[in-house]
Structure 1
Amino acid sequence: MLETTYLTNHFLIAMPALADPHFHQTVTYICMHSEEGAMGIIINRPMDIDLGEILEHMEIEIEDPRASRMAVFEGGPVQRERGFVLHRPVGRWDAMVTAGLRNDLGITVSRDILEAIAQGRGPKDVFIALGYAGWEAGQLEHELANNSWLSTPADNDILFRVPPEKRWQAAASQLGVDLNLLSSDAGHC
């Protein structure tokens, strides 16, 4: 029987030849991976909106001006209207996912964390995304076997500190890989 290694708390790094426009040159934080499938959030695709626009739409008063300038990311092609907040410390929020995640990282999908961020009392590190990436049972394993992705343990500095445009290369660098040196044309001179 083939042993499966699950990739919860890992980054998926798109190989340069991955042409799917949803995932080309992306880094995806895998929130959940099991025999039933996988769910992840792309961490290097900032959107043309900021948190202030979302808070205004939700009628949440902004007391901390830093909140209005926070970036919002395209988390993936599934349920683009659904928001996710990756954060640390974990804290206590109404709708938080911690099962399977590292002890220092939480994912919250409830209004209370956005209200806290708007008031300047949210978690120290925050990443906000709309939508997510999803894979059916066995789909991600198939894509990994076809060399569509590299994987490496997730790193909080890449998630929260590295500028978005540098995250793809930074995640690959954890593996000692320079993505600029990889070719999509195998076997050619």
Structure 2
Amino acid sequence: MTEGDSLTGRLLVATPALADPNFNRAVVLLLDHDDEGSLGVVLNKPTPVDVADVLQPWAELAGRPSVIFQGGPVALDSALGLAAVPGQGEEPLGWRRVHGAVGLVDLDAPPELLAAELASLRIFAGYAGWAPGQLEDELAEGAWYVVESEPGDVFSLDPRQLWRSVLRRQRSELALMATYPDDPSLN
């Protein structure tokens, strides 16, 4: 795989054909995609757990809704932080750029180290992971649409509507999928 083949920073949008309940109507931001596999977080599955209940030091910096998101079915007892750092300057300590202004936050670092640099922060419990070639197989099976991410996707104020809004903005017949019913058997 060449760097141009990498899907890092792009969105995986679950197709209606994807049968895995962990990814029903999921929108996944790919954080890493290379020959060693793929890793991402589901952007549209907020939990009822407040950030303050789990990671109190980071609660003040968390965006709205200020809850933990279920990032995927893998390692639910671990946390990943994604934050926006505006500008293209030097990366602040405790933050690694993934794509554009979005990057991973070292949640073991003191929050005050990054507080002045962060524009938004979202915390995810767990992640979605694929072994080498596994994601490519799922793409070939039609399980995912691959689309460009936009800066607001990670920090959407209405994450439960993200699946529809990401599809609706596409400039192709893919936009029609935004109207796909939750339960097609009821039509």
TM bucket, shorter chain:
0.7 to 0.9
Q: 1:66 to 1:85 in 2, by over 3 A?
A: closer
Q: 1:71 to 1:145 in 2, by over 3 A?
A: same
Q: Select which of 113, 129, 132 maps to 1:137.
A: 132
- For residue 73 of structure 1, give the secondary structure of its aligned residue in structure 2: strand
What CA deviation, in whole Å up to 9, does each residue of 1:136-169 have, x standing for no partner? 1110000001000001111112222341111101
- For residue 154 of structure 2, give the secondary structure of its aligned residue in structure 1: helix
The CA deviation at 1:103 is 4.2
Tell me the distance in 1 between the aligned counterparts of 2:119 and 2:40. Answer: 22
Gaps of 5+ in 1: 184-189
Aligned pairs for 1:84-103 (under 5 A) are: 84-89=80-85, 91-94=91-94, 96-98=95-97, 101-103=98-100
Q: Select which of 151, 155, 162 maps to 1:156.
A: 151
Amino acid across the alignment from 1:112: A
Tell me the distance in 2 between the aligned counterparts of 1:43 and 1:37. Answer: 20
- For residue 178 of structure 1, give the secondary structure of its aligned residue in structure 2: helix
- For residue 22 of structure 1, give the secondary structure of its aligned residue in structure 2: helix
Aligned pairs for 1:25-44 (under 5 A) are: 25-44=25-44
Tell me the distance in 1 between the aligned counterparts of 2:178 and 2:156. Answer: 22
Gaps of 5+ in 2: 182-187
1:81 is matched with: 77
TM-score (norm 1): 0.78
- For residue 75 of structure 2, give the secondary structure of its aligned residue in structure 1: strand
The CA deviation at 1:104 is 1.7
Kept after mapping to 2: 8 A contact 1:51/1:68 = no
Tell me the distance in 2 between the aligned counterparts of 1:93 and 1:139. Answer: 33
Kept after mapping to 1: 8 A contact 2:12/2:30 = yes
Amino acid across the alignment from 1:179: M
Tell me the distance in 2 between the aligned counterparts of 1:158 and 1:65. Answer: 18
The size of the alignment, in residue pairs, is: 172
Output the aligned Cα RMSD: 2.9
